[in-house]
Amino acid sequence: MKWISCLFATLFGVGFFPIAPGTIASFITAAAYKFYLYKFSWSVYLLLIVAVFILGSIAASKYAKSINKKDPRTVVIDEVLGQLLPLFLLPSDWGLVIAAFILFRFFDILKPLFIKKTESFPWGWGIMLDDVLAGIYTGIIINIYLLIK
């Protein structure tokens, strides 16, 4: 069971990349959306988000506890979830997908506007929630842009 948690939490090993594993996981998610996930109905996509949140929280907790680190750099399932959020119902347009990717990485790396405080939640919740908030902020900005465009 431990290896399954490791596999899911690290996105099948992407988290072990030596340089920017979170950015790579976000990029993979954005590319998967651009080429495939945008075809999902809103209900299936929403189910995917909920499943990644629940399973990701569990896997991140188990994996982090197994290596005795509160928020290991190798856990990247949180970036997958955070990147999925602003892409929800977004047209499969290169400009929008790239903007969502860049904005999400900005919020995830710098952690402004109360994002940093969510890391104080225990284990998997803290690992996942900062990326949820970064994804929500990104989604708000992208959707404001789409409204005024």
The burial class, CB within 10 Å (0-12 / 13-18 / 19+), for 125 is middle
What domain range is 71 assigned to? 19-148
Query: Does residue 25 lie within any of the structural domains?
Result: yes
What is the mean pLDDT of the segment spanning 28-48? Answer: 98
Query: Does residue 3 lie within any of the structural domains?
Result: no
What is the mean pLDDT of the segment spanning 91-108? Answer: 96
- Percentage of the chain surpassing pLDDT 90? 76
List the Cα angle 28/34/39 in 5-degree steps: 120
What is the mean pLDDT of the segment spanning 54-71? Answer: 91
Query: Does residue 14 lie within any of the structural domains?
Result: no
| Size (the chain), residues | 149
Inform me whether the pLDDT recorded for 117 exceeds 80: no
Domains in the chain, number: 1
pLDDT at 114: 79
Inform me whether the pLDDT recorded for 86 exceeds 90: yes
Crossing angle for the helix pair 42-66 and 77-87, nearest 10 degrees? 160
Residue type, 126: G
What is the mean pLDDT of the segment spanning 79-93? Answer: 96
Residue corresponding to tokens 């405080």: 117
Mean pLDDT of the chain: 92
Query: Does residue 92 lie within any of the structural domains?
Result: yes
Query: Does residue 7 lie within any of the structural domains?
Result: no
Residue type, 35: F
pLDDT at 1: 59
Query: Does residue 10 lie within any of the structural domains?
Result: no
Pick 92 or 116 by higher pLDDT: 92
Inform me whether the pLDDT recorded for 68 exceeds 80: yes
* 112 Rama sector, left if φ>0, alpha if ψ -120 to 50, beta otherwise: beta
Query: Does residue 13 lie within any of the structural domains?
Result: no
Query: Does residue 81 lie within any of the structural domains?
Result: yes
Structure tokens at 31: 């590319």
